[in-house]
Amino acid sequence: MSKLKLSTLFLSLLLCSLLAQLIPYTITTAFAEDSSVSSFKLQDQTGEKDTAFFDSCRMVQPLGTTPPTPGTDVCAILVDGINDVGYTTLQEAFLAAVDGDVIYLLEDVTEAVSLSIGDKNLTFNTNGHILDIDSQALSVTNNNSVLITGGGTLVAVNIVVSYGALLQIDADVVITGDGTALWAIENAKVIVNGNITSSFIAVIARSGGSIIVNGNIAADGDGIAGGGAGTKVVINGNVNATRNGINGNPRGTMTVNGDITAGRIGVSAGPLINIEVNGDISAGVCGVFATDEADAIINGSITSEMSGVAVALGGKVTVNGKITAPSYIALLVGPSDDWGIIYLDGFSTLSDDTGYPLEALADPYLDYLAYWNNPSNWIFKTPAQHDAASAKSGYLQYSGGDPLSFVWVQGYLPNTGDSSTLVLLFALTFVVLGIGTLLLIRTKQRV
């Protein structure tokens, strides 16, 4: 081979070697200049993500320190215990993390960072610390999975899990927003292995969403809300709420395997929903209210300062304990066909049977209040005024309102109030309920 050919071959090999070194250097430099999420989506000429090359470049990003520096770094991305990468902010770690990474807290973190996760599966190990994203939201969507483990506490203004995503929280949860909650919507699933405290509603499940809480709930509003076909909520603990313990409608199932303490209604069951409480209910206004073919089963006793159980429009309630309340049971006499049922659709709109929203009608809410708050539209029952026969063996049956509404009670306590007192108390009950419903509508419209 001639010297010219050997020189040409040597130069070609040298050029290939230089290019091989230049390409990864160029991509790594791009990371340094642009730390946005989009910069981490490497694409080849076909537009597909080159995940293998992406993973090989991750450790050379000039964003963190190896190993993590205690007192300087607040968290780290775990690799192998030796090459873990430390970060001075949660934001930097979150942007640097790729699918399957574990972000490990080194100390309590309070940082205004919105954790919107829609293109990767992540684990946050709190290591027993507080993860406070400082009035920002956590969202998980698009079938991604996020695990928050390690105990400690997660603090967020709002948590939304949607479109088939999974969020598991092995920590206590604090919701700080006004008009916010922990949401599971559009077939998403949430599991909380801890307690939930909320400044508004604790949990809301809608449109096939599923929520399981292995702990207690405390809410400065409703404890549980939502509904929808395929929706499921299970609380393996107690519910303490300043408004309603459960505010469920329409459809779906909700179960509380503990006691409910509510400032207003213990269980408010709307259209076609199934609710079961395996504990006692204590309420300030009404123990259980079931309407529009809702079915509520209470495997404990009910104590209320005003009304024990109220049913309307095909609502059914079964109580496997005792009811203690000045107004024992009330059944609504169904409205005439030409009156037009006004109802809350369970989310944001009060409407009549035409489907038009509240604002489009001529003072419909006043008609709503006038009808439901008029004692003459209700039949009141004392414990002794049960039906002669019962469709449910072993229970006393109470009926006489619309033909599809029933209350079944396994036992009862003597009721000491006279009839005039009962009527007055029940009228006051639904004045409170009506005002509360209007406030809830306005609040949910903000959400």
The pLDDT tens digits of the residues spanning 375-408 come to 778 899 999 999 999 999 999 999 998 888 999 9
Mean of all residue pLDDT scores within the chain: 78
pLDDT band at 20 (very low <50, low <70, confident <90, very high): very low
Is residue 170 over pLDDT 70?
Answer: yes
pLDDT band at 447 (very low <50, low <70, confident <90, very high): very low
Amino acid 424: pLDDT: 54
How many whole angstroms separate alpha carbon 188 and alpha carbon 192? 13
pLDDT band at 350 (very low <50, low <70, confident <90, very high): very low
Is residue 435 over pLDDT 80?
Answer: no
Name the token pair of 203: 């949990």
User: What mean pLDDT comes out for the span 289-300?
Assistant: 94
Amino acid 81: pLDDT: 77
* Bond into 403 cis (ω within 30): no
How many whole angstroms separate alpha carbon 247 and alpha carbon 232? 13
Burial level of 354, CB count in 10 A (0-12/13-18/19+)?
exposed
Least confident of 124-138, 269-283, 402-416: 402-416
What does the pLDDT look like over 147-157, one tens digit per residue? 999 999 999 99
Residue 299 to residues 14, 213, 255, 258, 331, Cα–Cα distance (Å): 81, 19, 11, 10, 21
* Bond into 70 cis (ω within 30): no
378-381 vs 260-262, strand pairing mode: unpaired
Percentage of residues of the chain with pLDDT beyond 70: 68
Strand partners, 153: 130, 172
Between residues 274 and 22, the one the model is more confident about: 274
Amino acid 79: pLDDT: 87
b/e code 178-210 from CB counts within 10 Å (16+ = b)? eebbbbbbbbbbbbbbbbbbbbbbbbbbbbbbb
DSSP annotation of 171 reads: S
C-beta pairs of 73-82 under 8 Å, 24+ apart in sequence: 73/106, 74/105, 74/106, 74/107, 74/109, 74/111, 75/103, 75/104, 75/105, 75/106, 75/109, 76/103, 76/104, 76/106, 77/101, 77/102, 77/103, 77/104, 78/102, 78/103, 78/104, 78/125
Domain boundary assignment for the chain:
151-446
Least confident of 25-39, 158-172, 417-431: 25-39
User: What mean pLDDT comes out for the span 324-348?
Assistant: 58
Considering only CA atoms, which of 244, 234, 112 is closest in space to residue 184?
234
Amino acid 443: pLDDT: 40
Considering only CA atoms, which of 443, 185, 401, 209 is closest in space to residue 291?
401
Amino acid 153: pLDDT: 97
Considering only CA atoms, which of 207, 239, 208, 236 is closest in space to residue 223?
239
DSSP annotation of 357 reads: B
What does the pLDDT look like over 205-232, one tens digit per residue? 999 999 999 999 999 999 999 999 999 9
Identify residue 206 by its one-letter amino acid code: R
Q: How far is CA 106 from the centre of its chain?
A: 29
pLDDT band at 199 (very low <50, low <70, confident <90, very high): very high
Name the token pair of 38: 């989009």
Q: How far is CA 204 from the centre of its chain?
A: 3
> Which are the contacts of 159, defined by CB distance < 8 A and separation ≥ 6?
137, 138, 139, 167, 173, 175, 181, 182, 183, 190
pLDDT band at 325 (very low <50, low <70, confident <90, very high): very high
pTM for the model: 0.75
| Phi and psi based region of residue 228 (left: phi greater than 0; alpha: psi -120 to 50; beta: remaining) | left
Amino acid 377: pLDDT: 80
Is residue 8 over pLDDT 70?
Answer: no
Is residue 143 over pLDDT 90?
Answer: yes
Amino acid 33: pLDDT: 31
pLDDT band at 429 (very low <50, low <70, confident <90, very high): low
Is the separation of the CB atoms in 226 and 206 below 8 Å? Answer: yes
Burial level of 272, CB count in 10 A (0-12/13-18/19+)?
middle
What does the pLDDT look like over 44-53, one tens digit per residue? 333 333 333 3
Is the separation of the CB atoms in 50 and 44 below 8 Å? Answer: yes
User: What mean pLDDT comes out for the span 82-106?
Assistant: 94
Between residues 193 and 28, the one the model is more confident about: 193
Amino acid 372: pLDDT: 65
Amino acid 177: pLDDT: 85
